[in-house]
Structure 1
Amino acid sequence: MPRRTATMLASTLMLFVLFCTGLFIKVPYAEMSPGPTVNTLGDSRGEAVLSISGRKTYRTSGHLNMTTVRVTGADYDMNLLEAVYGWLAGDNIVVPHDNLYPNGKTDKESTQENAEEFSQSQESAKVAALKQLGIPVSARVVVSSVVKASPSEGKLHAGDVIQAVDGTPVKEPGDVAKLVTKHKAGEPVEFTIVPAAEAAEAERAHREPGAPTKITITSGKAEGDGHAIVGIRAGTDHTFPFTVDIKLADIGGPSAGLMFALGIVDKLTPEDLTGGKFIAGTGTIDDEGKVGPIGGIQMKTIGARQAGAEYFLTPAENCASAAAHVPDGLTLVKVSTIGDATKALEKIGKGDTAGLPHCDKP
């Protein structure tokens, strides 16, 4: 056999062996890639993403797209070949598995956590949007969750409105723990509540709930310092003066909060804020309208540009990393609050973009 032919055969065989080896060697990495974007002013799967009833709405145009990131699942075993391909591919990022799923988090646990964060982001988006528009929103302290096999199990339920503890009115979720821990373990604690079903019915009817109920719970003992506990987590819920529904399937996490809020603001504002422009963005949002950072910013800007976006509303804390890899043709607009974002929309919609706050490269 000629030496050249033998060398080519050996090289081919070596490549084949390396290829097969790469298929079977598992590596502790996960992959992130651009996910779909959805216009919060439009429809998804035949249903309006944002629908408002009980309040006059106005015509909108253009796009206010929320953006997503695709990630490999917690239980997915990436092989070496896939990792190498991901490192070489321009639109993908390969990261340590534990960065996305710390402490051995499973797919089920991750999905549940993302669903809870997504639900909370919708609530905060509604609150922030209405506050931005000067529309009053009433808040109340509620039972967010009940610990299994705790003193409260079967007595208090998620969604119950907590009006008082031992006759003392509560205004913030933290008030509940402060009042409970004034007791010694084993002492009774009296809760004044409105049951979740009655509170939900009252909210749907936009009325005040009926007479409250008093529930007495014998406190338990916390591990460690032994302070009194009842086994609930308190949170905040809101009553809105009209109905705002957000419908979007198969999306999780908190990062769509800003774009949901802006979609609500646009629909309730007489002026067409986008002016027909294609604007995308991301960012968490709290009840006061503060915009927070998110993960996977590079993937989101790529996905936004691929969908056709010309402007991308970027949380201030993500600006540096976003600017380091900004796609051609996409302008990054720095925002810290819903007020910043609303002003940016007005400028973009009117074509007055000279004064927009941009994200600078590091």
Structure 2
Amino acid sequence: MSVAVTMFNGGRGAASIARGMLSTPGVGLSLVVNGYDNGQSTGALRRYLPGMLGPSDFRKNLLLHLDPADPAQAALTTVLEHRLPPGTTPAGLTEVIDAVAARRGRFAALPEEASALVAGHLRAFARRLAAAPHGFDLADCALGNLVFAGAYLRLGRDFNAAVDACARAFGSPVRLLNVTNGENAFLVALRRDGTLLADEADIVAPRDQRRPQAAITDLFLLPEPVGGRRRAQLEASPPEWARDDLLRERAEVTPNPRALEAIMTADLIVYGPGTPHSSLLPSYLTPGVADAVARSRAAAKVFVVNTRDDHDSRGLSAPDLVDRTLTYLGDPGNRRRLVTHVLSHHGPDVPAVPRGVLGRGEWAGARWLTADLEDPGRPGAHHGRRTADALLAIRDEAALAGAR
């Protein structure tokens, strides 16, 4: 019997769980991701190609199935992860593209069809760079991000079509879906003390967020980045005024129908681990997502707690993180049963779980379960197969209970 699993995730936070699902016979995996990444070279790429969402988290999810022990798959990994060195010129990029097309050097083991597709996308970006050479520095840019950018240009600046094209080029068995229809938007946040976090990179930057006034209280999607003057105006305003202004300025985004369909036809929905404010919670702001979860046939809708605190969630307990998910889904009391179960690692360093919650085995109407989920060889990461097995067991038990 096949099991359709749909997981909300970011870039790497849920990668081990996704790999665990992929290694399980009979599981079909859909990943729902957003494109608000705006850090470093990704932010530079978005500024260079106005209207384009951030490809980084999608690129990272194309690595899930690739085995470094297989030469062809290792070469595909190299394409996705290779960073262009400082001083790379457009001519230097052309040399890299020629090596990809001819399958030379580090790209020698590339499958022929993949090399042709990847080189075609890269050449489309190189043509854009030749026509407008100023405003973009190739240094430290992931080659895989340029593959996405080239596909975006070739396909009429359709970001979701570019995601599909790159998934085909790299042979991904995952149904990789942008949560929206591809409308451009920029993520900003407010802290309790009124400090504005002007982009996604600022949200995940290390800071002492254990102080109550440093906690992130609000997320917004805006149609344009916040410039220096606007940032100064917002930070000079009382927090409640800044909040109202940002709400009035928010971007209009629409849901990707294929993402909604994947949610509604899932047998298991997973709210994956990762950086909540930068990667996960923004997806739940998408209109239609909460309704799709509520209407889903999924027997279990499971929130997976991180095995470690992230920079953007320090000072928040595990129940706090569940509450924030429900709030951004528009169901703070969980009356619609958008979360049926919570699964957390029982180690000492996870976001705090109050003893009363563990004693009751329940929070906000969701059943709270614990298990040994951390990978002993990679502290802070979930053990992929063990966590996948636990999630599928929750689904099986819930499906059996529902059939009685």
Q: TM-score, normalised by structure 1?
A: 0.26
Which is greater in Rg?
Answer: 1
- Structure richer in strand, relative to its length: 1
- Structure richer in helix, relative to its length: 2
Q: TM-score, normalised by structure 2?
A: 0.24
